[in-house]
Structure 1
Amino acid sequence: MSGNVVSASAIAIDEAARLLAGGELVAFPTETVYGLGADATNDEAVRRIFAVKGRPADHPVIVHIANRNDLGKWARAVSKGAAQLAEAFWPGPLTLILPRASTVLDQVTGGQDNVGLRMPSHSIARALLNAFGGGIAAPSANRFGHVSPTTAAHVAADLREAPAMILDGGPCDVGIESTIVAFRNDEPVLLRPGAISVAELAQVLGRSPLPPDAAAPRVSGSLTSHYAPRTPASLLKSDALRAELAQLTERDEQLAVLARTLERPADFEGVWIAARGDAAEFARDLYANLRALDAANADAILIETPPDDPAWLAVRDRLTRATQGEDDDRD
Structure 2
Amino acid sequence: METLILKQQQLDQAADFIRQGELVAFPTETVYGLGADATNETAVKKVYAAKGRPSDNPLIVTVSDIAMVEKYTQPFSDDAKALMAKFWPGSLTMIFKLKPNALSKAVTGGLDTAAFRFPKNQATLDLISKAGVPIVGPSANTSGKPSPTTAQHVYHDLNGKIAAIVDDGPTTVGVESTILDMSVATPSILRPGAVTKEDIEAVIHRPVIDELHHVGAKQTPKAPGMKYKHYAPNAQVYIVDPDDDWHDVVAWIKQHPQPIGVMAFDDVIKTINWPDNVDVISLGNDARTAAHDLFAELRDFDNHPAYKIIFTQGIDPKGIGEAYMNRLNKSAGQMHFKQL
TM category (shorter chain) comes to: over 0.9
Residue 95 (structure 1) shift: 0.6
* Alignment pair present for 1:37 and 2:35: yes
Counterpart for residue 333 of structure 2:
324
> Which one of the candidate residues 282, 288, 305 is aligned to 2:314?
305
> Which one of the candidate residues 251, 258, 262 is aligned to 1:253?
258
SS in 2 for 1:83: helix
> Alpha-carbon deviations, 1:73-124, whole Å to 9, x = none?
1212322222211111000111110002222111000001100101111111
* Alignment pair present for 1:218 and 2:226: no
Change (3 A) 1:158 1:105: same
Matches within 5 A, 1:228-239: 228-237=232-241, 239=244
Change (3 A) 1:3 1:240: farther
* Alignment pair present for 1:262 and 2:268: yes
Aligned equivalents of 2:234, 2:156: Cα separation in 1: 14
Aligned equivalents of 1:139, 1:114: Cα separation in 2: 16
Task: Name whichever of 36-45 and 67-76 sits farther off.
Answer: 67-76
Task: Tell me the amino acid that sits aligned with residue 21 of structure 1.
Answer: R
Residue 268 (structure 1) shift: 3.2
Aligned equivalents of 2:320, 2:149: Cα separation in 1: 21
SS in 1 for 2:56: coil
Task: Name whichever of 282-291 and 189-198 sits farther off.
Answer: 282-291
Change (3 A) 1:311 1:140: closer
Aligned equivalents of 1:234, 1:63: Cα separation in 2: 33
> Alpha-carbon deviations, 1:10-36, whole Å to 9, x = none?
2x1110000100000001111111111
Counterpart for residue 7 of structure 2:
8
TM-score scaled by length of structure 1: 0.93
Task: Tell me the amino acid that sits aligned with residue 226 of structure 1.
Answer: H
Aligned equivalents of 2:317, 2:190: Cα separation in 1: 19
Task: Name whichever of 175-184 and 17-26 sits farther off.
Answer: 175-184
What do you get for the CA RMSD once the two structures are aligned?
2.0
Counterpart for residue 155 of structure 2:
156
The answer to whether the 8 Å contact 2:257/2:277 transfers is no
Identity of aligned residues (%): 34
SS in 2 for 1:74: coil
> Alpha-carbon deviations, 1:167-186, whole Å to 9, x = none?
11110011110000013543
Aligned equivalents of 2:260, 2:337: Cα separation in 1: 17
Counterpart for residue 106 of structure 1:
105
Task: Name whichever of 266-275 and 35-44 sits farther off.
Answer: 266-275
The answer to whether the 8 Å contact 1:81/1:186 transfers is no
Aligned equivalents of 1:147, 1:99: Cα separation in 2: 30
Residue 249 (structure 1) shift: 2.5
Change (3 A) 1:39 1:140: same
TM-score scaled by length of structure 2: 0.91
> Alpha-carbon deviations, 1:281-311, whole Å to 9, x = none?
2211211111112323212111011234334
